[in-house]
Amino acid sequence: MDKRAFIKNLGVMGAGLSAGFTSLREAVAAVEHVSPADLATDEDFWLKVRGDYEIKPDYINLENGYYCFLPKQTLEHLIDHMRMVNREGSYYMRTLQFENKNRVANAVAEIVGCSSGEVAITRNTTESLDLIIGGLDWQPGDEAVMAEQDYGAMLNHFKLVERRYGTVNRLVSVPNHPGSDEELVELYASAITDKTRLLMICHMINITGQVLPVRKIVDMAHARGVEVMVDGAHAYCHVPFTMSDLNCDYYGTSLHKWLSAPLGSGMLYVKKEKIDRVWPLLAERDLGTSDMRRLNHIGTHPVHTDLAILNAIEYQNTLGLERKAARLQHLQHYWTSQLRGLVNVIINTPAELHRHGGIGNVGIEGLEPAELAERLMNEHGIYTAAINRPGVRGVRVTPNVYTTKGELNALVSAIKTISA
């Protein structure tokens, strides 16, 4: 069999990619004339979307922040890809694997309007950003700036670099309810010195859901000669943006979160002119220092995951990112607005629409986060994530596109009962 015939038989190209999306296309076609903001409140439409997910009936899942599980269509494609790779074996691995990975990089880059030559497919946000933290040519006395509310894996890697190279880490604490963008810009600016090499910020803080004014912080840092690395684990395919909107130097995300791609898929973006400044974690063949592919050499890996990323992107493109973002924000506002201002209830997420997406955090005065999460699950059948971090004590609530207002009503009722 020649290569052209082999490609045709794989069923991963062209029309084969679209199988299983007919019902979603029909549902979307019926509401094409409706704005994303208006559609966000249309429960009948979102019940149709819910039908694409196999939802466990044992409890209400409000912890999609760790992993947004796959809609049925993407899952079936993933299984098909696994069968194909298993059937074709080494032939696939030595031929089409690399061509297809490039196709995935192109599709992932297109979502945020950057070049595929600036993107590497990784396994998660931690791997993506730790490649940068561990790959810069640090010198003793160099400084890095970050926040107490940043993700622990990256904070730990900065600590490792500090011990290994004699660098200095400077931490700020991001307020849950900032008065202005300028307050946040000044917060980070106050930690920068003439020795600062890198500033890390969250696009959307994972424990509260607060969206930071990334471009304003980036512009401030660049004016001081400081590079900026953005943790986009919860922003990519959650809120619409392009890399030119942000102008950051490095960006990492997990595709298995809000894109609903298979577990173990992520993305690293490095601005073209910065690629040659980063040392790879594992040595790759000589590709040239400006070739992004040298940064994510990890040896043999589950290539069927790469293929299913394309299916996850097609599902999202069919649904529409603007529609999805509006629905997620609407769901967060729906439940938090009913609890703000209640006695003993603490909402750790800003109320302003431009400062949040779908993630929220709620605590109860005098109650440990772990106990609140346990009571929500055991007494009310609601699964959340306990968060006990500096300035943030509560449970993280992360609905998804399949979440109903009835499920959020159950959350509101449970919080009112527990806080009484």
Contacts with 383 (C-beta within 8 Å, 6 or more apart), sequence order: 59, 60, 61, 62, 63, 376, 377
What HEC string does 90-133 produce? Answer: HHHHHCHHHHHHHHHHHHHHHHCCCCHHHEEEECCHHHHHHHHH
Other beta carbons within 10 Å of 303: 19
**Confidence at 14, pLDDT banded by 50, 70, 90:** very low
pLDDT at 13: 42
Tens digits of per-residue pLDDT, 158-205?
A: 999 999 999 999 999 999 999 999 999 999 999 999 999 999 999 999
The two tokens of residue 250 are: 């490095």
Tens digits of per-residue pLDDT, 229-249?
A: 999 999 999 999 999 999 999
Q: How far apart are CA 79 and CA 304, in angstroms?
A: 8
What is the chain's length? Answer: 420
Least confident among 104-113, 250-259, 294-303, 383-392:
294-303
pLDDT at 20: 67
Q: Is the pLDDT confidence value at 404 over 90?
A: yes
Residue type, 209: G
Query: 196 φ, ψ to 5°?
Result: -70, 130
Whether residue 266 contacts residue 279, with contact meaning beta carbons closer than 8 Å, is answered with no
- Give the closest residue to 106 by CA, choosing from 95, 93, 96, 117: 117
Tens digits of per-residue pLDDT, 140-160?
A: 999 999 999 999 999 999 999
Locus of tokens 């919080």 = 415
More confident residue, 1 or 401: 401
Q: How far apart are CA 329 and CA 41, in angstroms?
A: 11
Q: How far apart are CA 251 and CA 7, in angstroms?
A: 33
Q: How far apart are CA 355 and CA 205, in angstroms?
A: 10
Rounded to an integer, the average pLDDT of 34-42 is 98
Whether residue 382 contacts residue 415, with contact meaning beta carbons closer than 8 Å, is answered with no
Quick one: CA dihedral 34, 39, 41, 46, positive or negative? positive
**Confidence at 6, pLDDT banded by 50, 70, 90:** very low
Locus of tokens 């880490």 = 169
Q: Concatenated DSSP letters for 264-325?
A: S-EEEEE-GGGGGG---SS--S---TT-GGGGG--SS--HHHHHHHHHHHHHHHHH-HHHHH
Facing residues of 383 across strands? 61
Average pLDDT, the chain: 93
Please state the pTM of the whole predicted model: 0.93
User: Three-class SS of residue 194?
Assistant: coil
Residue type, 213: P
Q: How far apart are CA 262 and CA 104, in angstroms?
A: 13
Locus of tokens 């200095």 = 168
Q: How far apart are CA 311 and CA 319, in angstroms?
A: 12
pLDDT at 9: 46
* Cα-based distances in Å from 318 to 18, 20, 121, 307, 313: 10, 12, 22, 17, 8
pLDDT at 187: 98
**Confidence at 291, pLDDT banded by 50, 70, 90:** confident
Rounded to an integer, the average pLDDT of 37-62 is 97
Return the CATH class of domain 96-313.
Answer: alpha beta
- Extents of the domains making up the chain: 96-313
